[in-house]
A and B are shown apart, each in its own frame.
Chain A
Amino acid sequence: MIAEAGLAALWLAGALAALQLAMAVIGIARGRDDVAAAVRPVAIVQGVLAALAMALLINLFLNSDMSVKLVVENSHSAKPWLYKFAGAWGNHEGSMLLWVTILGLAGGAVAIFERSLPERTLVATLGAQATIALGFYAFLLFSSNPFARLTPAAPDGLGLNPLLQDPGLAFHPPTLYTGYVGLSVAFSFAVGALVTRDVGPGFAKAMRPWVLIAWIFLTLGITAGSYWAYYELGWGGWWFWDPVENASLMPWLAATALLHSVTVLATRDGLRAWTIMLAVVAFSMSMIGTFLVRSGILTSVHAFAVDPERGAFILALLAIYIGGALALFAARIGTVRAGTTFDPVSREGGLVANNLLLSVILGIVLIGTLYPIVAASFGVQLSVGPPFFNKAAGPIALALVAVMAVGPLLRWRRDEARAVVGRVALPIAATVVAAVALLFVWPGVLPWAGLSLAAGLAVASVAPLWKRNLRRTPMFTYGMVLAHLGIAVSLAGMASDSAFTRETLVAVRAGEAARVGPYSVTLDGISPVIGENWSALEAQLTATRGDDSTRLHPQLRFFANPPTSTNESAILTALDGQLYTVLGQPDGQGRWQLRLWWKPFVTLIWFGGVLIALGGALSLVGRLRRERRSAVRAAWA
């Protein structure tokens, strides 16, 4: 019964999305305020029903109901409960259901919490939100039903891809999807504002928290995904410019640009058309990301099923939404007055440069990701990978870092170039000192520039706090400082890892040692280990550095359902880097393959990512508090 109840909840939620759209259209086009007033409650109930469907699917996975096709194909009764729980979205249908659940809940949250927008614009926004939801409900109900039964029921399931059997699965997809969906809310706000011709600072202020939420979650999702790939894949890489990674990076780049331009619109009433355009682009990127990953056009651990019909369905949704939004944009943009203008040397000028460079990087990543797919459709097989992205996007990203250092030190509207030079003297000095010092350990061009600029940016990022009363500085200023500092930290980690990593590949017998970086690693022995649903061969390693020694236990794991083997790396984290150890195959003569890396300061990459997200969170809280305070003040006046 639970599967049927879930399906019923899904159909009802889909029907309510249709109702929500119809009522929004009638409310706005006919000016029927009584109909429009019902849009909010309908949006809330729709979100609750979608969440109910998701909860029921999780229940089916937790109980290993082998009469449900999806559970049979993706689960196994002997799996640890965490992977039964998270396994509910570790497959195509479940992950799409998670998508609409978050979408529905976000729509409900807009309906409950958004009070500052004019009611008509809010109703139009919820109408746009319903349009997006409707497409995904149709996709689920007509081509990806997660609740389909299997008759006769199977004795047990086929299991979950062992690469996905990791706590990361519980965290990474919901985080990224919240980011994607947050951008859909921003998009709906933009459509709502275009429909009611209400593009201005008020709309920007209402949209900003949603952009921030999306951006925080995307940042966390990408950071977590990168660390997951790093320790799980067993070769010490943390970013591969893989199309699926790019699919999550592109919405982040667009969201970062949008976050900055929406600030110009909210504070200075500038960049109106550009902000709307970025909201459309950001959501398009999450749709393209969903399309790339869900359509089966790419093969990877993320693309659970290859099915051309589903790919065509998502492509059609993509065309309808993006095409529709662009058509609306083209039709209405003439009515959007140009915002206030400004000098090139000004805070706005810096933010325009930020937007420009982020958009160019986004364009490069998009073209580089799609080029092989397009070429393949013409019968040409080629690959675009790290060398292209590093060469094409690397220098522009470094230019962006320079802009990021200077921008926050500029005044709004117009500034004097000479005064600016005085303000950036210290960061420039830090960059030069780092650049000269690094000449002695020449790390290669890009890492050299990266480390030097990271030093300058670290100094510049805290500069907005100089000579200020720290207790009266608004919280969102701290947020910006922390986020920019996070970029400097992360950049330093990336550059240090690519420049100074030491690699040792050896085959050793028990008792023999190998050196990597500052460590000596001894293989003490190999022994079998049994886990809940796997067995493994585990190496006992002793890593010695000076007088300290630590035991490490990398494993070669074997899963029975489905039959697969994985490498479980063992990582020793020190203050100045990580020792990364992997157990490889035996050579048949008593020796075991060991892969050892010493990665100086590699942890800064993800630590920086967390700082960036934390900066976003501070900004969000600071903005919300200030808005509430001014709302209270307005109520008193």
Chain B
Amino acid sequence: MSGRLSLALAAGATVATLLFCTAPAAAQPVTPPAHYANVQLADPAKEASAKALMETLRCLVCQGQSIADSDADMAADMRALVRERIARGETPASVRDWLVSRYGDYVTYDPPLSGLTWPLWLAPIALLAIGAWIARSSFRRRTR
């Protein structure tokens, strides 16, 4: 029982600390996230295209999440960056290109067609063709 009691005390202490920290002005040692990290753009059309782009960008420090659904600080910074650039009137494609030139292909979940990725994009068509060819053999030729 003493283990549980000490845990409850520790938890109480944590909450107390948190409340003090967050009371009037949270003394957070880290810089607060940029404005647009968690704030939407006023223009719904621009926000929609920013959001669509964010869902295709990889959070570089997470475990397989897009920056649109990550709690990581870096994802927050990248969200702010995407929203700022879209707000300035840049197209989603040019924002993506800029991020790819900075972080490499790893940052986009939508791999661009290139010498390295053509087998990936060709695969669906090739699979369909092979499958249709195999399936054909199980049909009987129609006799009348």
Contacts and interface: CB of A to CB of B under 8 A. Distances in A.
Contact of B138 (A156, A341, A359): A341
Interface string B124-141: 100110011011001110
Most buried by A among B105, B117, B127: B127
Contacts of A300: 63-64
B128 A233 contact: no
Interface string B1-35: 00110011011101110110010111010001100
Interface in B75-132: 104-111, 116-117, 120-121, 123-124, 127-128, 131-132
Contacts of B65: 240
A585 B37 CA distance: 12
The number of chain A residues touching the other chain, given as a range, is 35 or more
Contact of A535 (B14, B55, B135): B14
A112 interface: no
A530 interface: yes
Given A235-B69, A535-B14, A535-B15, A384 B109 contact: yes
Most buried by B among A270, A388, A589: A388
B123 A364 contact: yes
Given A356-B132, A375-B116, A528 B123 contact: no
A342 B38 contact: no
B49 interface: no
Contact of B109 (A363, A380, A387): A387
Interface in A298-331: 298-301
B69 A388 contact: no
Nearest to A534: B11
A151 interface: no
A514 to B, nearest CB: 11
Interface stretch (A122-130, A282-290, A420-428, A502-510): A502-510
A172 to B, nearest CB: 17
Contacts of A465: none
Given A382-B117, A506-B39, A558-B14, A387 B135 contact: no
Contacts of A368: 120
A75 B109 CA distance: 36
A498 B67 CA distance: 17
B139 A343 contact: yes
Contact of A382 (B68, B106, B135): B106
Contacts of A341: 138-140
B109 A586 contact: no
B128 A396 contact: yes
B127 A233 contact: no
B7 A560 contact: yes
Contacts of B7: 78, 533, 560
A359 B8 CA distance: 53
B64 A240 contact: yes
A589 B40 CA distance: 19
Nearest to A582: B71
Contacts of B139: 341-344, 349, 352
A364 B38 contact: no
Contact of A364 (B8, B40, B58, B124): B124
28 contacts: A77-B3, A78-B4, A233-B69, A240-B65, A271-B138, A298-B64, A299-B63, A341-B139, A348-B138, A356-B132, A368-B120, A371-B117, A371-B120, A375-B116, A382-B105, A382-B116, A383-B107, A383-B108, A385-B110, A386-B66, A387-B110, A388-B109, A396-B124, A396-B128, A531-B11, A535-B15, A560-B7, A586-B26
Given A299-B63, A344-B139, A380-B105, 12 more contacts: A78-B7, A233-B69, A298-B64, A301-B63, A385-B58, A386-B109, A392-B121, A528-B15, A530-B11, A533-B7, A587-B32, A588-B28
